[in-house]
Amino acid sequence: MKYHALDTPALLVERERLEANIRNMAELTRCHGKMLRPHAKTHKTPEIARMQLAAGAVGLTVAKLGEAEVFAEAGCKDLFIANQIVGEQKLERLVGLARNCTVRVGVDSLEVAMPLSEAAKRAGVSIGVRLEVDTGLHRAGVRTKDEAMEVADALARLPNLELDGIFTYEGHLYQANSDRERASAVARMAEELADLRDSLIRQGIPISIISVGSTPGARFTAPVPGLDELRCGVYVFNDRMQVARGAPPESCALTVLATVISVRPDGRVIVDAGTKALAGDKPFADQTMGEILEDPSLRFVAASEEHGHLQAEGSARLRVGDKVRIVPNHACTCVNLHERMYVVKGEEVEDVWEIRARGKFL
């Protein structure tokens, strides 16, 4: 079947680009002696996780317990939930997961660590923990070295927890305006984390792994000695946000296929893909919602839930019923909206993959 024949909106992934992205990140990390633990929240799809593991990934990162459960069931048994797990229901599920696979979670306070330790003890399991360090994003994570030392010390003592490392998410790199700014932010982060590891080791707390994340940071973090593991996610597909930060446009593997449903005399073209098919991220100064592969001169100027508004310069060349492919601004939020992705090579649909971890926000 040709992808043009699909009903729309439909999520397409170009197999060759996907494979190249997986291969390139695996090579980048391997050649610098780093471990790669890709963030699977981007694709949420077991078939892609297996491709990443086959290319050398040591395991997967996920954001949610529900994602971890899907990947564990699909046979991916080495998981890092890079998030704080709070609340009785979740702790119950976490210990269940820990019985079947190697699972680690993020921790940044004793309030999170103590119930975790108690739940693990009650269930007779051991749970890996990594201390989350804030290196500039100002989300979760310990903010000062003193706080880090205190929480790490407690983590090392609490029963049924295995402290295996420290981690940070350098999401603040998304705000950097140049490679120079990215490189210096990475250098500062690496120095801070190395200093923390040295201090913890001097205190008798062994830290075997320093784990960092982020796709825009990978070119800069991979060569830095002392950083052990990278958790990039978006690189599998790339998107407009990554292209704006140096990814080649031809590495964008993901598009939303949409149908033209109305053409207005003023050059306005309406397609059947709005925020329900693309998500609402507008990270650009020009506020456009995506890029139209068939005609990049069309500007995706607005989106409501079901409608995408494209503006042509002059009169539009598209007609009602035509199909266009739209590169999304942000791959992760876009994928989360779809039940399946169509795997295409050229015009041919070769496979259909269920996005099994979509919507798993619990």
Ligand X SMILES: Cc1ncc(COP(=O)(O)O)c(C=O)c1O
215 binds ligand X (CB under 6 A): yes
Query: Is residue 200 classed as helix, strand or coil in its secondary structure?
Result: helix
Choose between 51 and 298: whose C-beta lies nearer to ligand X: 51
What letter does residue 39 receive in the DSSP assignment?
A: B
Q: Least CB distance from residue 205 to ligand X, whole Å?
A: 22
**Residues in 10-69 that interact with ligand X by CB under 6 A:** 39, 61
Considering only 9, 59, 128, 233, the residue that binds ligand X (CB under 6 A) is 233
Phi, psi of 10 (to 5 degrees): -140, 140
Q: Pick one of 46, 141, 213, 290: the residue that binds ligand X (CB under 6 A).
A: 213
Q: Cβ closer to ligand X: 169 or 300?
A: 169
Residue with smaller CB distance to ligand X, 134 or 322:
134
Select the residue interacting with ligand X from 117, 160, 214, 238 (CB under 6 A). Answer: 214
Site size toward ligand X, by CB under 6 A: 12
Only segment of 7-15, 176-184, 228-236, 309-317 that touches ligand X (CB under 6 A): 228-236
CB-CB contact of 115 with 139 (8 Å): no
SS (H, E, C) 225-275: CCCCEECCCHHHCCCHHHHCCCCCHHHCCEEEEEEEEEECCCCEEEECCCH
According to DSSP, residue 6 is labeled S
Q: Classify residue 99 as exposed, middle or buried by CB count within 10 Å of its CB (0-12, 13-18, 19+).
A: exposed
Measured from the CB atom, the residue of 36 and 120 that comes closer to ligand X is 36
Nearest CB to ligand X, comparing residues 105 and 263: 105
Nearer to ligand X, 21 or 214 (CB): 214
Phi, psi of 324 (to 5 degrees): -130, 155
For residue 306, give the amino acid letter: E
CB of 358 to ligand X, least distance (A): 16
Which of 185, 234, 269, 289 touches ligand X (CB under 6 A)? 234
Looking at beta carbons, which residue is closest to ligand X? 213
Q: How far is the CB of 260 from ligand X (least distance, A)?
A: 32
Pick between residue 128 and residue 233 the one whose CB is nearest to ligand X.
233
Min. distance of Cβ 295 from ligand X in angstroms?
29
- Interface with ligand X, residue 81, by CB under 6 A: no
- The footprint of ligand X on residues 160-179 (CB under 6 A) is 169, 171
Cα of first residue to Cα of last residue in the chain, in angstroms, is 36
Among 65, 82, 210, 318, interactor with ligand X by CB under 6 A = 82
Measured between alpha carbons, how far is residue 45 from residues 67, 158, 269, 338, 353 in Å?
10, 35, 33, 11, 7
Residue 223 and residue 28 in contact, taking contact as beta carbons nearer than 8 Å? no
The identity of residue 331, as a single letter, is: A
Q: Are 350 and 14 in contact (CB under 8 A)?
A: no
Q: Site residues (CB under 6 A) for ligand X?
A: 39, 61, 82, 169, 171, 213-215, 231-234
